[in-house]
Amino acid sequence: MPTRKDDPFAEQIDAFLAYIALERGLSKHTEAGYENDLRQLAAFLQKRGVGGWKDVSAEDVGQWVHSLGEDDYVPASLARKLSAVRMLARFLVKENVRPDDFTELLETPKLVRKLPGTLSANQVDALLKAVPLNTAHGLRDRAMLEMMYGSGLRVSDLCALSLHDVDREQGFLRVLKGKGGKQRVVPVGGCALEALHRYIEEGRPQLLKPRTGSELFLSQWGRAISRKMFWVLVKRHAQAAGISQPVKPHLLRHSFATHLLMGGADLRAIQEMLGHADIGTTQIYTAVNPSRLAQAHARYHPRGSA
């Protein structure tokens, strides 16, 4: 197996990763995904005997995508991987490593948009009530679940919150807007605020350690709780609640959006709260409950009812 020194692709991948970290403002999670995708492609190219990025062709990348499809990668994953390669190709042209973009003729895999799963209001209520409130960890978990469902946060946004991001008096959070590093303001409901207040006053002090900073949700080591650990906690509480379907953190975000839409909330307002850059991304929730669209048409369209 070649060492990193012998890898003809590593130097430009490293340069590209440094570029997007400084210039594009992408999240660490996105950067890690791009790095994994590009190193995966580089390993494939080396097996094909390609000498470096100057020698890569569209056919090489097409064969890589085809091989991933045979390994049961879904179209969405393939499209994401190809997006990373396209960004790298443009970077190589920009840096005069090669004169052409070797991805120009490649087609993006057709995406089949999958409807997001949701929990019913009763299931959410059961999940929240399954969390014991007699420990610091229970107070933390209840507050995190309440805020994720009550504000539609991404799990990465939730775990990254600090005390300074919360305005308990006004009932708002400041979180990063989408993936570009800008802030957005998100309202927090009364139940979530109550759970958060109790956690901050009663639970968080018990989790503090000498080196704890301003992180809001703390692990047993006094540092910010990780996304991975939160996934484990959500699964544990869902099992305790007797919910049979698989419950992941993102399901609470989907439930937040779906329940708002079913209650009559404006799609643009939901878009802003979710931090979607494109309204088209938010519109997928209109397909979850088609009966609501029929009711809206009957109520508001001049010819909607006989």
Task: Considering the candidates 179, 223, 236, 248, report the single residue annotated as catalytic.
Answer: 179
Our answer to whether residue 276 is catalytic in this structure is yes
Helix, strand, coil in percent for the chain, rounding step 5: 60, 5, 35
- Of 168, 174, 141, the C-alpha closest to 249 is 141
Strand order in the sheet with 182-187: 166-167, 172-177, 182-187
Question: What is the C-alpha separation between 131 and 139, in angstroms, rounded?
Answer: 8
Measured CA to CA, the distance from residue 148 to residue 256 in angstroms comes to: 8
Q: Which of 137, 140, 237, 253 is catalytic?
A: 253
Does residue 110 carry a catalytic annotation?
no
Of 285, 297, 300, 303, catalytic = 285
How many helices (H) does the chain have, and how many strands (E)? 14, 3
- Closest C-alpha to 173, from 182, 183, 201: 183
CA distance 278 to 297: 24
Q: Does the annotation mark 168 as catalytic?
A: no
Task: Kindly calculate the radius of gyration of the chain based on its CA atoms and give it in whole angstroms.
Answer: 23
Looking at 154, 237, 254, 259, which residue is catalytic?
154
Residue 179 is among the residues annotated as catalytic for this protein = yes
Containing 174, the helix (H) or strand (E) segment is strand 172-177
Catalytic residue among 80, 98, 235, 276: 276
Active site residues: 154, 179, 250, 253, 276, 285
